[in-house]
Amino acid sequence: MKVIVIGAGASGLAAAASLAKMGARVTVYEKNAAAGGVLAPVLGEKFEWSRPYSLQRFLPGQFFARWMDELGCSVPAVRIEQRYCFPEFTIAKPDGAAPGWLDRLLEERFPKERRGLKRFSSFCRWMRTIASAQEKIEFSQSVALKRSVIWNYLFISRYVDLRADALIDKFFRDEELKKILLSVLIEKGVEPGDFSGIGLPLLWSESLFDSEETLERSDELQETGICHIEGGSEKLIRALSDTILAKGGTILTGKAVRHVEIGKNSVKRVVLEDGTEDKADEGEALAVVITGDPRENLLKTVGKEHLPPDTLETLEGQKLRPSAFAVHLGLTGDLGCGNKVTHVYIDSAETTARSLRDGSFDPEHQGYILYSSSAWGMRAPEGKSSLSILAFAPRHAAGIDWNHDRDRLADELIRLAERQFPGISTMIEERVIETPEDYALMGDASGCVGGLAPDAGTDTLPHTLEGIRGLYLAGQYTGGGGSVGTVMRGAWQTAKTIESDYYLDAVREGDEDDTEELDG
């Protein structure tokens, strides 16, 4: 069969690589000059920087590592660890600390909440065991793993319908502790009252703050850990692209799609902006996979008149993550921050999400993230290092012209970063600034970073559209929503759906042919 994929970001390349491995004849169209989307590196004259996408489940034995192995395009991953800095408290692994240090750190800070912390730790372990076992079931239909999911679910079932703020209230009374535990939602762009509580344990684990912690805890539980691709995310882009090409697929950059033609409730052909057409050969099935921003790629290419009312309603109600303002610095020396990603927060997750949604840009209170791409192998001259400072930002900020004010705002971010790394302003050799305007040009017209906010009340788009045969969706607005891992997993599921749909159709058509022959 013939598959046309629109968009060569993480989801487009993941879907295309999976489908090419399944034997489909794949063509990928990308409107920008290079594949990769926001995973592409930020290029300077002497330095390269990676955008702030921490990856989960890419370590050996985990879902994406196993999936990449099956595709034949494995990439090495480097574990990284987080630090969370608050005005009067910092969560970071102490030197030489033994496992369990995070629970001990919180118990020392909040001794009156010791009982709640132990209960919360058990709840998190049960929930992470369920998630880990479910992931392993994807590759092995183990009866023991299925029993583990059911058994652990019995312990967490009473919390399933709670939002994150209500869940935390079940365990704790101290407002400072609640604020700290819910701060992991700030980069998700969602208020705690809108986030499913059972998702919180997946974001709150010692393994996310400790790159040396053993991940394999039992046959059922493998802790997540966070990582980055060694040498930068462009190696992931290259590995997926090479797999597509090796399987006979085609990737065409600088080629924007104007129109997806629908006829008799099925896709017929794709028309590019230059007027050329692409379609299946005679007797060949055709599927089209649309990725990226559906407001840009789905509504404009397919047209509202062809879309089911439920799809239009879902699009209208979706809540997006904020955009970002970033300063990437090339420094004359080594900061020594290694593989750590530092989060600096003052306001609560609720206050931050609301102020960003209302058009406010105030990184001093809304928070910012610092990390060094050179720590995981991005290009930097010998003896020198890089530092990126990222603040989440509204697409349109009150009183700010992103292009006109970019240098002033970059200076302010550097001033804030000096509090964590004194003296960096005297070490700057090169700097590159990215605004929400720049993120909007990368493929998502809304400028948001990561697509959908993980709002429990926001529906995601399905992988298939009812009533249109051969049209499929993948990316940050479908399935589980945004984040690189979720997007790529969703793309894999889209590919599996296509494989299943056309395999089953072939069986049914063959059965019908046999019946007609017998009747004759």
Give the pair of three-digit tokens for residue 351. Answer: 């206050």
SS3 for 149? Answer: helix
HSE-CB for 35 with a 13 A CA cutoff: 28
Cα–Cα dist 429/51, whole Å: 19
Q: How far apart are CA 429 and CA 213, in angstroms?
A: 36
pLDDT band at 520 (very low <50, low <70, confident <90, very high): very low
Q: What is the pTM of this model?
A: 0.89
Tens-digit pLDDT profile for residues 339-390? 899 999 999 999 999 999 999 999 999 999 999 988 888 889 999 999 999 9
Chain centroid to Cα 402, Å, comes to: 25
User: Using the 8-state DSSP alphabet, how is residue 429 labeled?
Assistant: E
Pairing outcome for strands 471-473 and 286-290: parallel
Retrieve residue 146's tokens. 């299925």
% of the chain with per-residue pLDDT over 70? 93
Rg (CA), the chain: 24
Given its phi and psi angles, is residue 151 left (phi above 0), alpha (psi -120 to 50 degrees) or beta? alpha
Phi/psi at 198 (5° precision):
-70, -5
Query: H helices of 390-434, where?
Result: 402-417
Q: Are strands 340-344 and 77-86 parallel, antiparallel or unpaired?
A: parallel
* Contacts with 311 (C-beta within 8 Å, 6 or more apart), sequence order: 461, 465
Check residue 168 and give its pLDDT: 97
Length of the chain in terms of residues written: 520
Higher pLDDT, 78 or 508: 78
Q: What contacts 24+ positions apart, CB below 8 Å, involve 117-125? A: 117/171, 117/172, 119/171, 120/171, 120/172, 120/181, 122/155, 123/155, 123/156, 123/159, 123/171, 123/201, 124/200, 124/201, 124/204, 124/205, 125/201, 125/221
Query: Phi-psi bin for 507: left (phi > 0), alpha (psi -120 to 50), beta?
Result: alpha
Confirm if 194 and 114 have CB atoms less than 8 A apart: no
Cα distance between residue 349 and residue 378, in whole Å: 31
Listed range (105-109, 281-285, 410-414, 508-512) with the worst mean pLDDT: 508-512
Of 230, 234, 207, the residue nearest 131 (C-alpha): 207
Alpha carbon distance 184, 197 (integer Å): 12
What is the distance between the alpha carbons of residues 487 and 57, in angstroms, rounded to a whole number?
13
437: tokens are 């305007």
Looking at per-residue confidence, does 402 or 447 come out higher?
Answer: 402
Euclidean distance between CA atoms 436 and 401, whole angstroms: 10
SS3 254: coil
Mean pLDDT value of segment 464-475: 90
Predicted confidence band at 446 (pLDDT cuts at 50, 70, 90)? low
pLDDT tens per residue, range 78-87: 899 999 999 9
Q: According to the model, what pLDDT value does residue 444 have?
A: 63
**Residues 99, 213: Cα–Cα separation, whole Å:** 7
Amino acid at 436: P
Nearest alpha carbon to residue 185 among 206, 168, 210: 168
